[in-house]
């Protein structure tokens, strides 16, 4: 992270630093626990908050700049695509986001805070439930999660070719439009929309993991299976 921050400063880039990656659970096969347990385990959440305190309070060992004052850091991302499949109330992730965002803000008032959500609507916006691509919430409630006063902007990750095969452009457009309407009417937040889709050979996931789409020079594109983020 230190080297990335210093390189970003040279290239005049801003960083959105992730604090927790849901898809890297670190649990062995056959473990009794699951990733969903985190949202009801106060000890696990305290370990997360302790890690956040350590990282946000860190001083860059190369530049000597406190992370809380580092102009290269644009914002803190609380978690990447959190889900809690067993929570029909869709309330646990919202409670976690509110507490975690408040904790980050108590440490750092200079940078923005968000959470990298997938944008599934829940019970707080019943009129938008039909916009969910395959009629599930994954225990999340986008509007409720973005309603925390400690969240500065909303973020959605869209996987249109997985969620609605063959209707990617249509799904992305409707998804983003519905989110924008709800945000403008309720949350009053800016929206960062990240579109994630496959290019090239449409092999089944996870065969695409570890590959990226790269520019082959002079406008040519290497069409390896991979993800493109916009």
169 vs 90 pLDDT, higher one: 90
pLDDT in tens, 88-117: 999 999 999 999 999 999 999 999 999 999
Q: pLDDT category, 66, cuts 50, 70, 90?
A: very high
pLDDT tens per residue across span 11-60? 457 889 999 887 655 666 666 667 788 999 999 999 999 999 999 999 98
Banded pLDDT at 135 (limits 50, 70, 90): confident
Beta bridge mates, 136: none
According to DSSP, residue 217 is labeled E
Outline where DSSP puts E strands in 70-111: 73-80
Total-model pTM: 0.78
| pLDDT beyond 80 at 216 | no
Question: Is pLDDT of 212 > 70?
Answer: no
Nearest to 141 by CA among 178, 196, 77, 88: 88
Question: How does 143-164 read in b/e, with b if 16+ C-beta sit within 10 Å?
Answer: bbbbbbebbbbbbbbbbbbebb
Whole-angstrom CA distances from 67 to 46, 59, 76, 160 are 21, 6, 11, 35
Query: Residue 210: what pLDDT?
Result: 33
Assess contact for 150 and 102: CB atoms under 8 A: yes
Q: Are 182 and 143 in contact (CB under 8 A)?
A: yes
Report residue 123 as tokens.
């019970």
Note the pLDDT tens digit of each residue in 170-179: 666 677 777 7
- pLDDT band for position 5 (50/70/90)? low
């Amino acid at each position: 992270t230190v080297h990335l921050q210093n390189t970003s400063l040279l290239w005049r880039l801003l960083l959105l630093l992730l604090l927790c990656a849901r898809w890297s659970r670190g649990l062995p096969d056959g473990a009794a626990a699951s990733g969903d347990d985190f949202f009801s385990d106060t000890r696990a959440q305290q370990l997360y908050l302790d890690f956040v305190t350590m990282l946000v309070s860190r001083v860059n060992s190369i530049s000597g700049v406190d992370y809380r004052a580092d102009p290269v850091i644009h914002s803190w991302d609380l978690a990447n695509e959190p889900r809690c499949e067993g929570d029909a109330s869709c309330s646990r992730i919202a409670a976690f986001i509110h507490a975690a965002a408040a904790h980050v803000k108590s440490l750092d008032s200079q940078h923005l805070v968000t959470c990298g959500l997938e944008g599934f609507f829940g019970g707080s916006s019943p009129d938008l439930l039909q916009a969910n691509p395959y009629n599930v919430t994954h225990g999340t409630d986008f509007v409720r999660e973005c309603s925390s006063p400690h969240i500065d902007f909303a973020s959605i990750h869209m996987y249109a070719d997985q969620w609605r095969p063959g209707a990617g452009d249509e799904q992305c457009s409707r998804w983003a439009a519905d989110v924008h309407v709800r945000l403008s009417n309720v949350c009053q937040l800016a929206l960062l929309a990240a579109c994630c889709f496959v290019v090239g050979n449409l092999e089944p996931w996870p065969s695409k993991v570890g590959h990226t789409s790269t520019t082959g020079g002079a406008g040519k594109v290497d069409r390896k299976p991979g993800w493109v983020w916009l």
